[in-house]
Structure 1
Amino acid sequence: MSATRSFGDLGRSLTVQGRVIYALILREMQSRFGRSNIGYLWALVEPLLLVGVFTLGYVAIGRRSPPQGMEFLPFLATSIIAYLSMRNIASRMSSAIESNRSLLLFPQVTPFDLMLGRLLLETATFIAVFVVIIGGGVILGFASPPDRPFLLLVTVIYTALLGAGIGMLLGAITMNFPWVDHFMRPTWRLMLWISGIFFTLKQLPMSVQDILVWNPILHVIELMRAAYFAQVEPYRVSYGYVNWWILITTFMGLLCERMFRDRRKEK
């Protein structure tokens, strides 16, 4: 009887927590996209604009096609969507606690729920934008279907988890040090140019490779292209390295959040 009762209590707790997460996601959708469809449209327009800008840049410098026989749309779209989604996941999760502090007055809502709600919404947006842009390119004849769809899905999940780990760590730090958020804005702009969005690691001199290979965002972008194109093999990048970043940032984020929460209670 006790085991049955325990399972019943666990089921009720999970049901309540699921409803809390669902309510938080609906709330985040309104704040993220607004009540009109324009907000949802911008999620598509932003990566499309960047794809167009970088395509014009390639043409302007005399390059007619990306390296290793890759097609333009998947070459740029995979990297741009991955970068924007990771940035959005990390930024939105890092501000989840501070911008929704009033919700923590409800006993059912925890800081982890706030971050999880934003993670699920941004990941769903990431996947939807990816499918629409790549799928549209395939239908219109601008791209071929991915050669390794399952591996591509795995890499999409890695991208979301990396953004989540970075976001949890930044969110815990900015609880006590709000100025970190201002420091991250130019950092994300820098990452746009050094994360392999418009180039591949093989194209760079070895001395530059030795520096940029420490960047985990470059790893997921290179791995995503390798998953999309059969002729592209991972070069100096690995899922294992991204794994370590995900584990370390998530652990440090949870640890710092607990430490800073206790310090605030003492104050």
Structure 2
Amino acid sequence: MIDPILTKLALRRARKHVNPRIVMRSRQTSQTSMIAGFAPGATPSLREEFAAFVAGARTASRVVGALFLREMKTRFGRSRIGYLWAVLEPISHVAVMSFVYWAINRRAPVGDNVILFFVTGVLPYFLFQKTAQHLGGAIRGNHLVLRMPLVTGLDLVVARALLEAATWVAVVLLIFGFLILSGRAALPEQPLVCALAAFVTFAFGFGVGTINAVLMTVWKSWVLIYPMLTRPLYHFSAIFFFIDRIPANLRDWLSWNPLTHAVGWFRVGYVEAYGSVTLDPAYLIKWTVGAVIIGLCMERAAQRAVQSG
């Protein structure tokens, strides 16, 4: 649901201390000299170019900040149930599988902590899945916001992506904080590896989400097609099993799934014993770079169609 009053107030603040002509120049670099106010034929100095870039970046950050606050209000509203569900959803998945393993008297796939194994698989998967899914509706559901000055489709995508990242970080801190304080888990053995794996996984979700945002705007059927195509990934991303302990021919097929490497990379950062011979972070990075480049190019190419709705 769109809240035009909140958005107008926030964007009005964002525009207070900025020259619209400079903003246009920073967003349309091909017309730098004319929009910045230089005389026809004049060449701006490097300092003026940099100043215009900084002014445009500050304006974009204010716009994204205002949209971020609006997204937070729209997503969670004034009720705390939305925040609670963000925490309960991954916990429910872990709880169900932990109960199944307990009921059939099975041990953890690796080590003796089945909860930690499942948590380190569910969280990175949810980071990608929620980011890619929710970014898909960033443009399609905000055409009225796009009619406001200074707002672009990419601003909407970035604002929603930042909200997904902030939500995921809060959920991670709550879940791991509880596990560590209750004695059910230790501190991560390589926290920087966990952070890097999470960042690349988020960037992969951002790239796929940007592609979804464009496709769901120009091709309405993609809203139904994308979930059907990606739903099997939940079962084939090594969330609830250890990929090295399945038959080699099946392992080779699953290794083509970039999310398998995202889950494995995050896991090995938390517990080195979760290391896998099939883990290839470079493979995930290649998918991430490709998805981000394709997504940004598609958003740029479809800008007119996106703006017109």
For normalisation by structure 1, the TM-score amounts to: 0.92
Superposed, 1:106-185 pairs within 5 Å as 106-185=148-227
Is residue 2:242 matched to residue 1:214? no
State the SS of the aligned residue for 2:84: helix
Task: Find the aligned partners of 2:273 and 2:121 in 1 and give their Cα distance.
Answer: 17
- Aligned length, in residue pairs: 266
Distance 1:171 1:201, change over 3 A: same
Greater Cα shift, 231-240 or 162-171: 231-240
Larger radius of gyration: 2
State the SS of the aligned residue for 1:163: helix
Distance 1:14 1:197, change over 3 A: same
RMSD: 2.1
Superposed, 1:85-96 pairs within 5 Å as 85-96=127-138
Query: Once the two structures are superposed, what CA deviation does each residue of 1:85-117 show, in whole Å capped at 9, x if it has no partner?
Result: 211100111111111121111231111111100
**1:22 pairs with one of 58, 65, 76:** 65
Deviation at 1:257, TM superposition (A): 2.5
Deviation at 1:251, TM superposition (A): 1.6
Task: Find the aligned partners of 1:127 and 1:140 in 2 and give their Cα distance.
Answer: 20
Query: Once the two structures are superposed, what CA deviation does each residue of 1:140-193 show, in whole Å capped at 9, x if it has no partner?
Result: 011111110111111111111111111112222222222122122233431111
Q: Which residue of 2 aligns with 1:242?
A: 284
Structure 1 alignment gaps of length 5 or more: none
Task: Find the aligned partners of 2:168 and 2:120 in 1 and give their Cα distance.
Answer: 11
Aligned identity (percent) is: 31
Distance 1:157 1:266, change over 3 A: closer
Contact 2:255 2:278 in 1 (8 A): yes
Is residue 2:118 matched to residue 1:76? yes
Query: Once the two structures are superposed, what CA deviation does each residue of 1:65-84 show, in whole Å capped at 9, x if it has no partner?
Result: 332x1522321112112112
What residue identity is the alignment partner of 1:199? F
Query: Once the two structures are superposed, what CA deviation does each residue of 1:19-61 show, in whole Å capped at 9, x if it has no partner?
Result: 1111111011011111111111111011111110010121233
What residue identity is the alignment partner of 1:163? G
Distance 1:220 1:265, change over 3 A: closer
Contact 2:218 2:305 in 1 (8 A): no
Structure 2 alignment gaps of length 5 or more: 1-43
**1:193 pairs with one of 209, 227, 235:** 235
Q: Which residue of 2 aligns with 1:65?
A: 108
Greater helix share, 1 or 2? 1
State the SS of the aligned residue for 2:106: coil
Task: Find the aligned partners of 2:280 and 2:145 in 1 and give their Cα distance.
Answer: 39
Task: Find the aligned partners of 2:306 and 2:172 in 1 and give their Cα distance.
Answer: 40
Is residue 2:56 matched to residue 1:13? yes
Superposed, 1:11-50 pairs within 5 Å as 11-50=54-93
Contact 1:172 1:254 in 2 (8 A): no
